[in-house]
């Protein structure tokens, strides 16, 4: 019995390792190319991004490869009548299925951890690499496209000669009560020290809306690198909050919501007491409703994150619960045919239910645990096939 278990486990690990490596490398290259094209990164930044992008790729490749390994191994065993031989010896098929289920359970825990790491440490690392490389990114974009634009700044140049920007036009968006600002110059230069980007203009004219025009022989300005990056501050987005910090973040948002309600109630109390009801006509009630709804939506998304990450991780186990019995039932030795026979119902059932559950949970229409619906359906289907199509016959 132990020999049979070791044999099945070895076959699963062998196929899983090869498939995981191949698929992860392929997706890693695609992810690097996509990020590099979006941000204008060079080869050095590519290498720096690999450890941060890898967890994000693996949280998708592990569930797919455990399904591929299960369908391949059990499809070949069933197609060559090995399962029939095991039954003829009075051995339950569960003897060869347990290694797959235990392996899938362990991989599920790993994938839950990767889901948490990828959206916190991984995304923060990618953003840090991009911010620290912002000087080279801007120069690369200006050399190739003659322009660079983000949420706060737009740069257009006639040409780039070494580190010199020839006839640049810088447009700064309005922020913190400051009006939009346009700076044109004969030339400019960018320098970064890892924290701020220093811009030096020579023979510059500054146009500030409502404040007139100013001319300088040389003018310099320092801007935080986070303001230049195309990525904003995402640390408070629910999908970027670590699982360990979600309870404290929920408490903070609830306290903020209660404080806002108390503050607004106090502001409305005085006009009601004094009878100055015309004050209410000046209130933007739709804005009030939108502000409160935004806070509730933030809470709903925070409530959704823990079950979403756990259910996404345990898709490994659910895929194995469906893939292994179906591969034995269909008895197809061809690994690709066996894989697609198992993957087709998962694609048609699991992912639509997952999308439905996440959307309903984020909107607050249903309890956050609705995200487990797809996993539950797969587990029930797997149990039915295991009992009716594998163990009974």
SS3 content of the chain, % helix, strand, coil (to 5): 70, 15, 15
For residue 121, tell me if it sits in a domain: yes
Range of the domain at 102: 2-133+301-391
Same domain for 128 and 160, yes or no, is no
Same domain for 122 and 157, yes or no, is no
3-state class (DSSP) for residue 42? coil
3-state class (DSSP) for residue 281? helix
Chain centre distance of CA 52: 12
The count of other CB atoms within 10 Å of the CB of residue 273 is 8
Last residue of a domain, one of 228, 252, 284: 228
Same domain for 109 and 198, yes or no, is no
Mind listing the pLDDT tens digit for each residue in 108-166? 999 999 999 998 888 888 888 877 777 888 888 888 888 888 777 889 999 998 889 99
Same domain for 338 and 372, yes or no, is yes
For residue 238, tell me if it sits in a domain: no
Same domain for 314 and 383, yes or no, is yes
Same domain for 124 and 155, yes or no, is no
- Does residue 240 contact residue 119 with C-beta atoms inside 8 Å? yes
What H or E segment, with its residue span, contains residue 212?
strand 212-224
Tokens (6 digits) for 52: 């941060």
Same domain for 10 and 127, yes or no, is yes
Angle between helices 123-132 and 134-145 (to 10 degrees): 70
Contacts of 282 (CB under 8 A, 6+ apart): none
The C-alpha atoms of residue 228 and residue 154 are separated, in whole angstroms, by 10
For residue 251, tell me if it sits in a domain: no
The C-alpha atoms of residue 142 and residue 152 are separated, in whole angstroms, by 17
The count of other CB atoms within 10 Å of the CB of residue 299 is 18
Q: Which of 232, 356, 249 is nearest to 295 (CA)?
A: 249
Tokens (6 digits) for 42: 């060079």
Beta-strand pair 159-161/147-149 = unpaired
- Does residue 56 contact residue 240 with C-beta atoms inside 8 Å? no
- pLDDT digit string (tens) for the chain, length 393 residues: 678 888 899 999 999 999 999 999 999 888 888 877 766 677 777 888 889 999 999 999 999 999 999 999 998 888 888 888 888 888 888 889 999 999 999 999 999 999 999 988 888 888 888 777 778 888 888 888 888 887 778 899 999 988 899 999 998 887 766 778 888 999 999 888 777 888 899 988 888 766 667 778 888 888 887 666 655 555 578 888 899 889 999 999 899 888 887 877 766 666 666 655 555 555 555 677 778 888 889 999 999 999 999 999 999 999 999 999 998 888 876 777 878 888 888 888 999 999 999 999 998 899 999 999 999 999 999 999 998 888 875
For residue 270, tell me if it sits in a domain: no
Last residue of a domain, one of 174, 194, 228: 228
Same domain for 119 and 158, yes or no, is no
- Does residue 214 contact residue 208 with C-beta atoms inside 8 Å? yes
Contacts of 111 (CB under 8 A, 6+ apart): 58, 59, 62, 63, 312, 313, 314, 315, 316
- Does residue 35 contact residue 49 with C-beta atoms inside 8 Å? yes
The C-alpha atoms of residue 319 and residue 343 are separated, in whole angstroms, by 8
Same domain for 34 and 122, yes or no, is yes
For residue 349, tell me if it sits in a domain: yes
Four-point Cα dihedral 232, 129, 250, 317, nearest 10: 120
What H or E segment, with its residue span, contains residue 325?
helix 315-330
Question: In this structure, what DSSP letter does residue 372 have?
Answer: G
The C-alpha atoms of residue 176 and residue 24 are separated, in whole angstroms, by 44
The C-alpha atoms of residue 35 and residue 186 are separated, in whole angstroms, by 33
Same domain for 208 and 309, yes or no, is no
Same domain for 31 and 124, yes or no, is yes
What H or E segment, with its residue span, contains residue 262?
helix 246-274
The C-alpha atoms of residue 277 and residue 270 are separated, in whole angstroms, by 10
As a whole number of angstroms, the longest Cα–Cα distance in the chain is 94
For residue 112, tell me if it sits in a domain: yes
Last residue of a domain, one of 228, 253, 273: 228
Q: Give how many domains the chain has, as a whole number.
A: 2
Same domain for 386 and 311, yes or no, is yes
The C-alpha atoms of residue 369 and residue 310 are separated, in whole angstroms, by 10
For residue 46, tell me if it sits in a domain: yes
Task: State the pTM of this model.
Answer: 0.80
For residue 103, tell me if it sits in a domain: yes
């Amino acid at each position: 019995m132990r020999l049979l278990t070791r044999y099945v486990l070895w076959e699963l690990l062998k196929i899983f390792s090869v498939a995981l490596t191949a698929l992860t490398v392929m997706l890693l290259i695609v992810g690097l190319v996509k990020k590099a094209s979006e941000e204008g990164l060079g080869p050095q930044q590519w290498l720096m991004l690999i450890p941060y992008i890898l967890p994000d790729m693996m949280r998708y490749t592990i569930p797919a490869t455990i399904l591929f390994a299960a369908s391949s191994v059990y499809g070949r065993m069933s197609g060559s009548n090995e399962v029939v031989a095991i039954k003829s010896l009075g051995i339950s098929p569960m003897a060869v299925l347990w290694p797959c289920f235990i392996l899938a359970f362990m991989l599920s825990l790993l994938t839950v951890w990767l889901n948490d790491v990828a959206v916190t440490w991984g995304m923060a690392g990618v953003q840090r690499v991009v911010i620290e490389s912002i000087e080279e990114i801007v120069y690369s974009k200006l050399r190739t496209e003659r322009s660079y634009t983000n949420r706060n700044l737009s740069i257009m140049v006639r040409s780039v000669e070494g580190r010199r920007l020839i006839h640049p036009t810088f447009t700064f968006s309005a922020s913190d009560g400051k009006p939009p600002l346009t700076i044109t110059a004969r030339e400019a230069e960018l320098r970064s020290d890892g924290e701020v980007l220093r811009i030096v203009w020579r023979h510059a004219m500054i146009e500030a809306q409502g404040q007139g025009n100013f001319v300088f022989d040389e003018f310099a300005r320092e801007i935080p690198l986070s303001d230049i990056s195309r990525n904003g501050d995402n640390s408070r987005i629910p999908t970027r909050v670590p699982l360990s910090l979600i309870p404290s973040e929920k408490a903070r948002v609830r306290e903020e919501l209660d404080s806002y309600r108390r503050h607004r109630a106090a502001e409305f109390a005085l006009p009601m007491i004094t009878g100055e009801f015309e004050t209410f006509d000046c209130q933007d009630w739709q804005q009030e409703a939108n502000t409160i709804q935004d806070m509730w939506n933030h809470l709903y998304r925070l409530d959704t994150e823990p079950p979403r990450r756990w259910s996404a991780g345990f898709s490994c186990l659910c895929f194995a619960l469906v893939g292994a019995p179906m591969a034995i039932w269909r008895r197809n030795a061809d690994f690709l045919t066996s894989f697609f026979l198992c993957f087709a119902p998962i694609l048609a059932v699991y992912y639509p239910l997952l999308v439905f559950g996440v959307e309903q949970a984020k909107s607050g229409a249903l309890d956050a645990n609705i995200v487990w619906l797809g996993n539950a359906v797969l587990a029930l289907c797997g149990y039915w096939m295991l009992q009716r199509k594998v163990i009974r016959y």
